[in-house]
Chain A
């Protein structure tokens, strides 16, 4: 889908299509072979498809290898503190409903230090897309056990093998009330693009977990889902609602219980959209409604009128 038009070097002409060239910023600092390169390339493709005005796109991140992401995308954006990118980005989204907010991070950022924020952001359902690049290891700090490291994974903090039960990302997200939950793999570019695209088009808090291998510290972590490494790449067969007998067996993404069942399948499990709730209103919408109702009651009084009235009551 990438456009072939020859574009001027910056600045692009107003109204010119947004291309990978315009979106490319600093050269990624990731190790050669890192899964995150493919996620970045897929994200450029997603933005090329979406064609949002460049200045309206925001990419933010916490701390970790994958959280360097915003430096490599030429949009407004930034790099916040470890684990807290979600509440920060919720602030961006709720304060500026005109923007398209994308948050990037890893498994440590999302499920460990930021675990509580993940739960509560899901609960609040602000309009933003969160991409978790899960490598099941702390890479930036050079190989410690992560919240998604499998039992027995030998790291510098568990040289004898990880003892703690790993988090099941899909179940955690479903349980928190995320309204769009999908899973993909960094070796499956088309699938990643499709999942991120659907997530961006979802009205609410949408999350895509992407298994993205750390070739330095957890090589082969996700081979189980890679056919060329002898694994199984198994897609979720989504319901087509065509009334056919085989459709009954397909997955209905609005069915939360079915989503839980899918999420509980043994490793490597399935990939695709686990859950999508199109009916729950976003916090953006709920707060806007609250503001509209309140403004109606105050008859759109000016700020000065409102505060003067408050002080008059204190006389």
Chain B
């Protein structure tokens, strides 16, 4: 298990390496090639080196097989998106080469498996380097493992190309495969070393070094994870100890995480027979006095709607997660879309006001879970978290949260209740007395989906229905009063205000930078509180000529995306317009820049898009 290449060997190649601020690497192969593992290693390494990192992944919805890509962008500055186009393309197969060659910037590097790929010989726009990845892996590992380990071989190649930290990578490999057979760790390290030892003269035009991170010393340690995992940990920090769910892509990994994690915390997650049973069981936990969670993707949220209406009527706290995917119906289960916003806000029968939140990136999944917990408990209401396929699966590096400060403990309050206790007071917030609470009045409360009086007794009294409807509405308005004015980036007034929610955060922020670089006065506001809206928006909106709402959903019958529709209805501001798309992918920075340019009639030649790879300019 001794590496034939000592880490100092990296220093020898580094002398001829050029320094670059950041790089976008796209790995293209099939889903069983372990491409995500390479991406994961690179992301974790970047995180451990205090580099910013962002990944982008597509997974085929088939169980095994089919093309798959993983894109990782790492660098020393603030990385907000996975990058529109790649500087390095690693092509495992001819189809990978053909499908993804166009994603490679001019001056970039094409690294291909010469056992499987024959690139176009006339293509002089990129530096093509053929490496016999398959045969070299088989030679290095030997035995009957065949080409398994090809991904780790490529990781070795990349480590050489970008002068990556070999001891740290070896450590990551050992951690990743450590729980398994010793042979697997040995084979992985053999494959890695073989890739790393690939004769440097063949790569001599392609040796780079990432700029040292300028991260301030003494900050919190960097952690690297995906959105669904971080949301899971956020729920644990928010005091969620009980939950129930039903499997659906891309929500399942949250329920799998909770099922394993919650027993450690003395809690419990139940896999139910269907989506309706899942929310019902979760509401049973809530009724018992716990903070509980259920979740799904769009189709499952639709199934939960009747029960969500009950939660509003009975005023029961609950966190509901919707990891959005392409719809309607089964739609595009592994693609990105933000088309459940109106369902989340309005999707039940009756007047059913509720809270809807959206995390802006992987890190924010942690904080949005805490915010959901706060609102659910304080206002005894269901809170929906709208995340999406993009945030759910991509890996980002971020500052480790200050858990000691942030963690919340939630325990059922079964203390005896005063004789005046009412579950549904008209002049106050509902605070349920969970079962086990002695009622000193001798009168026990009923929670119900029927319209009720202050004690929970059913009533069809018109006066009470009006009063109780107002109580439920005013409660959600009271939530709004606790919210901060959203954070504004860029120009505080001017030509364009870009508004986004969810996974569009990074691309919008970078698009803002590009537009400001050519002299357009642009601001950016990412909305985390979708319903109710945070205060202060009207005043902000009034400071811009154009308010463009960027979202991944359809423009609808009247030409506006779902958030844009809501904002226009709320503010009656004709400056609000929409930038939408439904191609199942995250926004590219250039797409947003181009749409904005069209909307504000910016001359085409003023748009500054980076066409050349950073690798070309480095040479």
Contacts and interface: CB of A to CB of B under 8 A. Distances in A.
A10 B442 contact: yes
A91 B284 contact: yes
Interface string B249-273: 0000000000001011111101011
Nearest to B48: A315
B423 to A, nearest CB: 10
B449 A99 contact: no
Contact of B273 (A25, A77, A80, A117): A117
Interface stretch (A181-189, A204-212, A305-313): A305-313
Interface in A268-315: 287, 290-291, 294-295, 298, 301, 303-304, 306-308, 310-311, 314-315
Contacts of A90: 270, 281, 284
A71 interface: yes
A213 B312 CA distance: 34
Nearest to B236: A307
Nearest to B401: A311
A304 B412 contact: no
Contacts of A117: 273, 277, 280
Contacts of B438: 54-55
B281 A96 contact: no
Given A294-B263, A311-B400, A311-B403, A70 B284 contact: no
B223 A91 contact: no
A311 B233 contact: yes
Contact of A304 (B47, B290, B404, B414): B404
B281 A81 contact: no
A265 interface: no
A25 B272 contact: no
B284 A308 contact: no
B98 interface: no
Interface string A94-124: 1110110000000000000000110110000
B288 A96 contact: yes
B94 interface: no
Contact of A311 (B223, B266, B444): B223
Interface residues of A, number: 55
A69 to B, nearest CB: 11
B405 to A, nearest CB: 10
Contacts of A308: 403
Contacts, number: 192
Contacts of B104: none
Interface stretch (B450-458, B497-505, B556-564): B450-458
Contacts of A81: 280, 306-307, 310, 449
A70 B409 CA distance: 31
Contacts of B306: 81
A95 B310 contact: no
B224 A314 contact: yes
Contacts of A116: 273-274, 277
A120 B280 CA distance: 13
Contacts of A89: 284
Contacts of A148: none
Interface in A44-65: 54-58
Nearest to B398: A314
Given A307-B407, A315-B47, A95 B401 contact: no
Nearest to B414: A55
Contacts of A314: 47, 223-225, 400
Nearest to A77: B446
B268 A287 contact: yes
A23 to B, nearest CB: 9
A88 B304 CA distance: 13
Contact of B435 (A76, A94, A295, A298): A76
B379 interface: no
A303 B306 CA distance: 34
Contact of B242 (A88, A95, A98): A95
Contacts of B276: 84, 87
B282 interface: yes
A58 B435 contact: yes
8 contacts: A55-B414, A80-B283, A84-B307, A87-B278, A91-B283, A95-B290, A96-B412, A99-B288
The 9 closest A-B pairs by CB, nearest first: A91-B284, A10-B442, A11-B442, A76-B435, A120-B273, A87-B277, A78-B447, A314-B223, A87-B280
